[in-house]
Amino acid sequence: MLVFGAVWLLAGALGAQEPLLKTAEGFALPQPGRKFEFPRDHGSHPEFKIEWWYVTGHLYAAGGRRFGFQATFFRQAQAQSKAGEESTLYQHGQMHLAHMALLDAGSGMFLHQERLNRAGWDAEADETTLAVRNGNWSLKMIRPAEQAMQLRGTVAGEAKFDLELIPAKPLVFFGKDGVSRKADGPTAASHYLTFTRLKTRGQLQWGDEKLEVTGEAWMDHEISSSQLDPEQSGWDWAAIQLKDGREIMVYRMRRKDGALDRHSTLAWIDAAGKVQHHGVDQFVWKELSHWRSPVTKANYPIRAEIQTVDPSTGKPLHLKLEPLAEAQEQTGAMGGTAYWEGACRVVDAASGEELGAAFLELAGYTGDLAGQFR
Amino acid sequence: MDGLILLLQRFTFRHWRQAPRTTLLLGLTLALGVAVFLSIRMANRAALSGFSNFTELITAESDFIVQATAGSLPEKALLDIREAIEPYAAVCVPIIETTASPPRKEGEPSGLSQRETFTLYGLDLVSLQNVSTAKGQSETVAEGGLGNLSVLGKSHAVFISSRLAEHRGLKVGASLELVMQDQRVVLEVGGIMPDRDKSVRVPETFLLMDLPALQRLLGRSGQLDRVEVILEKGKLGQQARAEVQRVLETQGEARWRVSTPAQRRESASVMTQAFRWNLGILSMLALVVGLYLVFQALDGAVVRRREEIGVLRSLGVEPRTLQHAWLLESLLLGVAGGILGGLMGWVGALAAVKLVGQTVNVLYHTTHTQGVSFTLEDLWMALTLGMGASLVAGWWPARQAARTPPAQLLTRHLPQPVGGGRWRKIWPGLIWVALAAVLATLPPLRLEGGGRFALAGYGAAICLVVGGGLLAGGVLQLMGRFLQPLARWSAAVRLAASHLRRASSRHRLAVAALLCAVAMTSGMAILVGSFDRTMRGWINRTFQADLYVASDGAQSASSQNRILPATWRSLRDQPEVEDLNVICFQPLQLPEGETLLAAGDLGFMRRHSDMAWMQKPESEEIYDKDRNAGLCLVSEAFSERFRKRRGDEVLLPVPDGVRKLRIAGVYSDYGNERGTVIVDRVHYAVWFSDESASRLAVQLKQGAAPESVRAAWLQRHPGLSIFTNGHLRNEVMRIFKQTFAITYALELIGVVVAVVGLGMSLASVLLERRAELTTLRALGMSREAMARATMLEGVFLALAGTVCGLVVSVALGWVLVFVINKQTFGWTLQFTLPWMAMTVLLLLVVGSAALVSWATGRWGADLPADREE
């Protein structure tokens, strides 16, 4: 889940050749071999410039009703704030952006909303455990022993949900030695922690309709201080949950010259939670068809085929990602960047068999993303 | 119907074509009456429709407003509010609000209400952006200019209105110097506020800053004035309305109170209700006098066209058809006058709105005058008023035209009608006067929020004027008799005396109208005179300190600029200071209504001023800060408004609960009509955790020259306004007079209309006397002598109207001072007759009546016996 790395992409200290401990602004950089402690490391890391908690999932209600949801909480430090100058209720050194979205797959109705607050009275991120809030949207670890989380919120004044998320598989760390690289630049990296499968249950209210829902979710927690390279124009990312208990996390970093960045990757997570990374030359991301946004006019390749090799069989596997609805765009009035983030079904391109569900993220289709934020 | 149309074409329209000026005058008269009424209505609306909620202007109207029960809302309450409404789709907007004014220019003397007052809002500029998205607005605030978050962390960045930017040529990065609290502060324009649309522009004097930056500048870190709660647009957001209100109210307990913007507007509207009604009633007066003019004019037209009516009747035209034709003519005039009056009213409103706005700013609260709009509703009202007035005024002349037998109409030598018998009797007048006396004893109408309206008082005033008008007719005969001995000196006097002895209903009406206008004007002069004298006495007794200090930014009644503790302490420690009173004002919401809390050193008041008491404290306890924690003083207005007397209890809301205070005394105060509760500042400072001051009263040591101390202090503190005793007294009186400016303007219109009406009335009379005038000319009477006779007649009519008006005005003044004023404002005034003003009024009215009637007489003297117009 990288989109926000670019949304919040800001020039860090680029250009240094030696491994760095800090950016020029004084923010920490991800270091290999970092020892994580939980639940503290589920919480906020203000020593890093950028951090987000991202949950997407698929919900099912009685009668075969299906929903997709997204909840993302971002934190970004504007600069290392000077202690004592800020009121605790208005800390403009820390900004919190959040996005919520909900899709009713049956009707195709898509709700989305975003919020921007500085840290303080209406947004906060705990440094001791997972507890992030933006307005009345919150994600909290409610039972640390089983790492059970609660996600609550309302979307666009039309819908409301209260979900409990319990990891069905252990936490995984993407990248090498706990550091996930996104570009060649010494600062373009993150700590990338993910619960790839969370059993989800709770209540969903849409208008007057109140539903009990169950389903599965995916949660990323990414910590960095600068992720992207100025030569990158955008990225496509997908989180695929297969019915056989395995998952795939895949992203391709698109460069301005049309090539793919060599740090693009595809990771298989087996049923036990073990991660196997495939490099940029070991998978293919094929665009199948596009959808043009009537709001931003961006032309998103919302249907894609991921061609990889199934590590369990050693045979090629072509997975088609088919969106549950075309219009799943976050139009980005506040964050400044529009992107498409949508629930998809995953189909075997050869047999047509439905193999699982996915969330697909397509960013950088409304202009030069990296340039826009520099 | 055909007959009616034929009559209109041949009869009415022909006359209009033949006498276009008369027709135009008639239309204009009607239009003037409509215009005065409408202009005040429009000006009121424009001046008072100022937006009470800033968010309404730039994003959307709030659903709830959360305010502290007293004083500031601690900002920690935000966390509780957010937690309380967490399950609901709602956005919170914390706000701090203050006023600021541009600093004095070089060499400009200190003054009150002379410079514009800016309202400065501190909002969380980041969270504010959530309001637009929550409301589903396609154009977000961010796109409009407030999204410039680079201002965050800049301590002096301010967003200004596009109008201010246009008028002053201010661009982003420009400087704007203001007095905030007691400091001169140079702000930097960080952006231009977007207008939501062209019809709802952000008022020029609205400024916006980031909340924490403004808090710091004001020295009010940790404090909020209110939190506005906005429900999100969708179904869930709107369904939660009742639930959110309930939760907020329950969680608030004694800490905060919850209101809706509608309630807030209503509360502001209650504050100015009496003021608006008073203005409305005064403007109605102009309409009534206008109505009288139309009546005169239509009646005159009937007189002028008597013979033609007679011919039509002889030819068999039904009286009913004739009456309808006349009424239709009135109606057409009404439509024309209504439309014209609407337009004139709009023009008048443009002029009046500034005056109304100024008065409201001085007396009540900061208002941001909106542009005067002319709505469809206004047009409809103008037409209704125009047509209604013309039908009412035309009814009697139409009836006369229809009912008078043809033979009488065709005869020029019949005596003029002297009017119905009932008009010549004394008893109807006496009944009206008696009714006035009864009404004057009735209590006011009590409005919600502690407001009062002297309905019976106004009724008494109207009865007095009507009664006086009826009785005044009798005076004409007395005058005629009085003139008789003088008649032998001149034919003109003889002629005038004979006409007065046989005064027609037209004469009586002219006198009644003049009486009405003069009585109202003079009555108001008595009220203002009484006010003036009382105020002077009160100021002399109360304002006895040598220097008065306020923030230079405090330019209106509702200015919130404070003097910071460090500033007043440094002044207090000056060697030339003998004693200093730190005075603090705080608006206060009692369950019964809004009032004002004042805190000061009560001992200082005892030592240095001579308070005027309605109910004097029975012991010295109230002046001793060690013993007065449970005591308070209240103003007369408070006592009247909330019906509390000495010894009664006042439940005073303070930030940590409610204080029970006993009223130790009731004092006279003419500062505000909402009423004031005074407590000792030492207790206030503890209860409200507030050490700042709204005003300082300074007693200097013997030998210290106030002017030089003032100059030295101003040098050191350019953000302060410092008044010497005499200067402050003059300023208070100047503002006091300014508030009566509209009243005078309206009264003047009434007098002008009445004098014009007198001229028209005389013209009708002369037309009726064409035969007599011809005979007089044949007998050798010069035109000059005939004009003099008419002038004398006019002068005596004016004298009768004015003298009787002045007599009635004394009674009316009494009602205004002791009934209407007392019931509306709760102020006891000393009754004073402003002899000079009354004499000037008499001379002015009689003088202008002489001129008008002489001119009419000259015109009448040339009238041929057979001319219609």
For B571-615, give the DSSP string. HHTSTTEEEEEEEEEEEEEETTEEEEEEEE-HHHHHHH--PPEEE
Task: Residue B134: name the closest of A113, A83, A37 by CA.
Answer: A113
What rounded mean pLDDT belongs to chain B?
80
Residues B306 and B241 in one domain: no
At B520, the pLDDT band (50, 70, 90 cuts) reads: confident
How close, in Å, is residue A95 to chain B by CA atoms?
Answer: 9
Q: State the sign of the Cα–Cα–Cα–Cα dihedral B141, B145, B151, B156.
A: negative
Task: Residue B362: name the closest of B449, B452, B275 by CA.
Answer: B275
Task: Residue B416: name the closest of B773, B850, B12 by CA.
Answer: B773
Residues of chain A positioned with their CB less than 8 A from the CB of B209: none
Chain B residue with the nearest C-alpha to that of A134: B127
Does the structure show a pLDDT above 60 at A8?
A: no
Rounded CA gap, B801 and B479, in Å?
12
The answer to whether B228 contacts chain A (CB < 8 Å) is no
Residues B336 and B188 in one domain: no
Question: Contact, A250 vs A292, CB < 8 A?
Answer: no
B459 inside domain = no
Residues B217 and B117 in one domain: yes
Q: What is the DSSP letter of B13?
A: H
The answer to whether B445 contacts chain A (CB < 8 Å) is no
What's the number of domains chain B is made of?
3
The answer to whether B257 contacts chain A (CB < 8 Å) is no
Chain B residue with the nearest C-alpha to that of A161: B87
* pLDDT at residue number A357: 97
Does the structure show a pLDDT above 80 at B792?
A: yes
Residues of chain B positioned with their CB less than 8 A from the CB of A138: 86
User: Which strand (E) or helix (H) includes residue B659?
Assistant: strand B657-667
Amino acid identity at B101: S
At residue B529, what are phi and psi to the nearest 5 degrees? -60, -45
A47-62 average pLDDT score = 95
Chain A residue with the nearest C-alpha to that of B83: A136
* pLDDT at residue number B288: 67
Residues of chain A positioned with their CB less than 8 A from the CB of B94: 121
B236 inside domain = yes
Q: What is the DSSP letter of B9?
A: I
B4 inside domain = no
Query: Two tokens at B225?
Result: 């004035």
How many beta carbons lie within 10 A of that of residue A247, not counting itself?
A: 25
Rounded CA gap, B720 and B544, in Å?
20
* pLDDT at residue number B460: 92
Indicate the residue of A95, A114, A158 with minimum beta-carbon distance to B236.
A158
B524 inside domain = no
Burial class for A177, CB neighbours closer than 10 Å (0-12, 13-18, 19+) = exposed
Task: Residue B332: name the closest of B4, B95, B64, B658 by CA.
Answer: B4
| Pairwise CB contact (< 8 Å): A116 & B126 | yes
Strands B118-123 and B206-210: parallel
Q: Could you write out the DSSP letters of every residue in B97-166?
A: EEEEBPPPPTTPPP-SS-S--EEEEEE-TTTTHHHHHHTT-SS-HIIIIIT-GGGTT-TTEEEE-HHHHH
Locate all alpha helices (DSSP H) within chain A, ordered by sequence: 3-7, 369-372
Q: Which domain holds residue B247?
A: 64-259
CATH number (domain holding residue A262): 2.40.370.10
| Pairwise CB contact (< 8 Å): B221 & A87 | yes
Say if residue A39 is preceded by a cis peptide, omega within 30 of 0: yes
| Pairwise CB contact (< 8 Å): B233 & A117 | no
The answer to whether B619 contacts chain A (CB < 8 Å) is no
At B52, the pLDDT band (50, 70, 90 cuts) reads: very low
Q: Which of B259, B292, B318 is the last residue of a domain?
A: B259
The answer to whether B697 contacts chain A (CB < 8 Å) is no
The pTM (predicted TM-score) of the whole model is 0.74
Residues of chain B positioned with their CB less than 8 A from the CB of A159: 234, 236
What's the number of domains chain A is made of?
1
Chain A residue with the nearest C-alpha to that of B234: A157
Q: State the sign of the Cα–Cα–Cα–Cα dihedral B164, B170, B171, B173.
A: negative
Per-range mean pLDDT, top range of B43-57, B71-85, B285-299: B71-85
Query: Two tokens at B804?
Result: 């009787």
Query: Two tokens at B180?
Result: 């905030």
Q: What is the pLDDT of residues B254-288, one digit of tens each?
A: 788 898 877 776 666 665 666 666 666 666 666 66
Least confident of B154-168, B312-326, B418-432, B820-834: B418-432
Question: Contact, B77 vs B252, CB < 8 A?
Answer: no
Residues in chain B: 869
| Pairwise CB contact (< 8 Å): B89 & A114 | no
Does the structure show a pLDDT above 70 at B480?
A: yes
Does the structure show a pLDDT above 50 at A373?
A: no
How many beta carbons lie within 10 A of that of residue B578, not counting itself?
A: 14
Choose the mutation target among B83, B127, B220, B227 for the interface with A, i.e. most A CBs under 10 Å.
B127
Does the structure show a pLDDT above 70 at A85?
A: no
Task: Residue B257: name the closest of B13, B531, B590 by CA.
Answer: B590
Residues B224 and B305 in one domain: no
Indicate the residue of B85, B211, B235 with minimum beta-carbon distance to A157.
B235
The answer to whether B77 contacts chain A (CB < 8 Å) is no
Q: Which of B406, B434, B456 is the last residue of a domain?
A: B406
Q: How many helices (H) and strands (E) does chain B have?
A: 32, 23
Q: Residue written as tokens 């949660």?
A: A219
The answer to whether B231 contacts chain A (CB < 8 Å) is yes
* pLDDT at residue number B622: 93
Q: Which domain holds residue A125?
A: 3-372
At residue B618, what are phi and psi to the nearest 5 degrees? -85, -15
The answer to whether B78 contacts chain A (CB < 8 Å) is yes
Residues B45 and B134 in one domain: no
Q: Please calculate the CA angle B565-B568-B570 and round it to the nearest 5 degrees.
A: 105
Residues B550 and B606 in one domain: yes
Rounded CA gap, B664 and B498, in Å?
67
* pLDDT at residue number B345: 80
Residues B629 and B583 in one domain: yes
The answer to whether B127 contacts chain A (CB < 8 Å) is yes
How close, in Å, is residue B119 to chain A by CA atoms?
Answer: 22
Does the structure show a pLDDT above 70 at B211?
A: yes
Does the structure show a pLDDT above 60 at A157?
A: yes
The answer to whether B89 contacts chain A (CB < 8 Å) is yes
Rounded CA gap, B670 and B651, in Å?
23
Q: What is the pLDDT of residues A119-151, one digit of tens each?
A: 988 999 999 999 999 999 999 999 999 999 999
* pLDDT at residue number B482: 78
Question: Contact, A219 vs A194, CB < 8 A?
Answer: yes
B484 inside domain = no
B792 inside domain = no
The answer to whether B143 contacts chain A (CB < 8 Å) is yes
* pLDDT at residue number A336: 65
Burial class for B379, CB neighbours closer than 10 Å (0-12, 13-18, 19+) = middle
Choose the mutation target among B129, B149, B236, B243 for the interface with A, i.e. most A CBs under 10 Å.
B236
B800 inside domain = no
Residues of chain B positioned with their CB less than 8 A from the CB of A122: 78, 82, 92, 124, 127
| Pairwise CB contact (< 8 Å): A78 & B152 | yes
Least confident of A285-289, B17-21, B713-717, B809-813: B17-21
Residues B573 and B716 in one domain: yes
Strands B90-100 and A354-363: unpaired
Residues B557 and B591 in one domain: yes
Cα atoms in the 13 Å half-sphere on the side-chain side of B70: 25
- Indicate whether this complex's ipTM tops 0.95: no
Question: Contact, A244 vs A354, CB < 8 A?
Answer: no
Residues B193 and B291 in one domain: no
| Pairwise CB contact (< 8 Å): A157 & B129 | no
Residues B335 and B222 in one domain: no
Q: What is the pLDDT of residues B660-702, one digit of tens each?
A: 999 999 998 877 778 899 999 999 999 998 899 998 999 999 9
B498-505 average pLDDT score = 75
Q: Could you write out the DSSP letters of every residue in A70-139?
A: EEEEEEEESS-PPTTSSBTTEEEEEEEEEEEEEEETTTTEEEEEEEEEEEESSEEE-SSSSEEEETTEEE
Question: Contact, A24 vs A14, CB < 8 A?
Answer: no
| Pairwise CB contact (< 8 Å): B215 & A135 | no
B412 inside domain = no
Q: Which of B697, B731, B765 is the last residue of a domain?
A: B731
Question: Contact, B384 vs B337, CB < 8 A?
Answer: no
- Which runs of E-coded beta strand occur in A135-185? 137-143, 148-155, 159-167, 172-174, 180-181
Does the structure show a pLDDT above 90 at A36?
A: yes
* pLDDT at residue number A212: 97
Per-range mean pLDDT, top range of A30-44, B325-339, B532-546, B844-858: A30-44
Residues of chain B positioned with their CB less than 8 A from the CB of A78: 152-153
Q: What is the DSSP letter of A336?
A: S
At A254, the pLDDT band (50, 70, 90 cuts) reads: very high
Question: Contact, A134 vs A95, CB < 8 A?
Answer: no
Comparing A358 with B869, which gets the higher pLDDT? A358
B553-580 average pLDDT score = 85
Residues B565 and B649 in one domain: yes
